[in-house]
Chain A
Amino acid sequence: MSRGARFVLFGVSAAGLAALLGWAFAGLPDFGAYAGRYGRIVAQLAEPDRATTNAVTFTAFDVRAIDTLVEEFIVFASAIAAVALLRHQRDEPEHAEDTDTLLRPRTSPALRLVGAALAGPTVVIALDLIAHGHLTPGGGFQGGIVLAATAVVVVAAGGRVRLPPDKPPLLGEMMHGAGAAGFVLLGLGGLIFSGAFLSTTFAGHGTTGALLSGGAIPLLNVATGFEVAGAVIVILGEFLEQEMLAMEES
């Protein structure tokens, strides 16, 4: 199909879609006039039932914990799929240099300085986000991404990361495997100790607002944080290696 014909077809379909969207949105409640029941109930239960003050984390890791488990597996599977896709054609160039030798001539001293200065604080922020996920905005997913960003910052700062072609970036793979397994084990803990898979009450309530409160929810956050950070490190490592192989060839 030619480009012009494609645009015409798209224009007609998009106009139809826009009309349908307008029709559908006209039937939604007005902005700000939310009347749903579930959100209200969940927000009321978060504090008295589980001693969590972040209702979003309470929803994600308690009410919808099984969905979050599946979500974890989506992250897990996509990391493996990215590895399988990118490693498929890794055959010919035998040696990948370490990042420092390849990247140093291409990064500015300012970037390396800022990277080195940010590495420590980034880890602290990530751990803080994960540890306080049940109390304040944050949680395993958000903190995990920030933790993975540390790896990026370290590489940008000229940290030596050697990526031998036949060996996976072991730290990332261990982290994301351990995170996924940890989530399932915590779920089984709920099954054994309080009779329902992923029930979070077996770890006790604690005082509202304390770091150790909210039952197993902080532990699930830690597992998720490791899983997400590991998966992102694995994916970014694969992309980085592709880039390095391309640099070597050129």
Chain B
Amino acid sequence: MTALAYGVAAWLLLIGLVGIVRSRNLIGVVICLSVVQSSTYVLLLAIGYRSGAKAPILADIAGGTPVVDPVVQALTLTDVVVEATVTALLLALAVQAHKRFGTLDPDAMTEMRG
């Protein structure tokens, strides 16, 4: 299980980077970046997991039951929010790039014009 959990995180990071490098479309770059960022969610949640523990919602479980780490879950929440804002900004930049260059292919944008 250890290899699987951390392996998924590493795989998401690397495959997202592959996507960014290969992409011929700025929207694709943005989506691949969110794949890269999702590797951090997997990593954070994997680190906070305790075998046999419950979710940190204390309403329905008896006191003293082990729960998984709520701190990394809150960090993951922050991570998701930041990812969403970054995606919004990058998509806005993609819209502007398309207006200026008439294309979304990053390779076709190498000629910087004023």
Chain A residues proximal to chain B, CB less than 8 Å = 3, 6-7, 10, 14, 17-18, 21-22, 25, 28-34, 36, 38-40, 42-43, 46-47, 53-56, 58-60, 63-64, 67-68, 71, 74-75, 78-79, 81-82, 85-86, 88-89, 135-137, 139, 141, 145, 209, 228, 235, 238-239, 242
Interface of A is mostly: helix
Asked if A25 meets B92 with Cβ closer than 8 Å, knowing A54-B56, A59-B73, the reply is no
Closest chain A CB from B65 CB (angstroms): 10
Among B12-67, those with CB < 8 Å from A are 13-14, 17-18, 21-22, 46-53, 55-59, 63, 67
Q: Which of A6, A74, A145 contacts B82 (CB 8 A)?
A: A74
Note all chain A residues with C-beta closer than 8 A to B99. Answer: 89
Q: Which of B14, B57, B67, B84 contacts A17 (CB 8 A)?
A: B14
Closest chain A CB from B63 CB (angstroms): 8
Asked if A31 meets B6 with Cβ closer than 8 Å, knowing A55-B56, A55-B57, A75-B81, the reply is yes
Give me the 3 closest cross-chain CB pairs, A-B, nearest first: A39-B69, A32-B51, A55-B56
- Assess the A85–B89 pair: CB atoms within 8 A: yes
Does B108 interact with chain A (Cβ within 8 Å)?
A: no
Please name 17 further chain A to chain B contacts, defined as beta carbons within 8 Å, in addition to the given A38-B69, A47-B63, sorted by A numbering: A7-B21, A21-B10, A22-B10, A31-B2, A32-B2, A34-B48, A39-B69, A54-B58, A55-B57, A55-B70, A71-B78, A74-B82, A85-B92, A85-B93, A88-B96, A89-B99, A141-B77
Note all chain B residues with C-beta closer than 8 A to A86. Answer: 92, 95-96
Asked if A39 meets B51 with Cβ closer than 8 Å, knowing A209-B59, A239-B95, the reply is no
Closest chain A CB from B2 CB (angstroms): 4
Note all chain B residues with C-beta closer than 8 A to A81. Answer: 89, 92
A135, B21: Cα distance in complex, Å: 43
Of the listed residues A25, A71, A209, the one surrounded by the most CB atoms of chain B closer than 10 A to its CB is A25
Does B109 interact with chain A (Cβ within 8 Å)?
A: no
Among B72-100, those with CB < 8 Å from A are 72-74, 77-78, 80-82, 84-86, 88-89, 91-93, 95-96, 99
Closest chain A CB from B95 CB (angstroms): 6
Of the listed residues B4, B89, B93, the one surrounded by the most CB atoms of chain A closer than 10 A to its CB is B89
A22, B10: Cα distance in complex, Å: 8
A32, B45: Cα distance in complex, Å: 10
- Assess the B85–A75 pair: CB atoms within 8 A: yes
- Assess the A136–B89 pair: CB atoms within 8 A: no
Asked if A31 meets B73 with Cβ closer than 8 Å, knowing A43-B56, A46-B58, the reply is no
- Assess the A33–B51 pair: CB atoms within 8 A: yes
Note all chain A residues with C-beta closer than 8 A to B84. Answer: 145
- Assess the A28–B71 pair: CB atoms within 8 A: no
- Assess the B58–A47 pair: CB atoms within 8 A: yes
Closest chain A CB from B29 CB (angstroms): 14
- With CB as the reference atom, state the residue of chain A lying closest to B95: A242
Asked if A28 meets B14 with Cβ closer than 8 Å, knowing A47-B58, A56-B73, A235-B88, the reply is no
- Assess the A18–B17 pair: CB atoms within 8 A: no
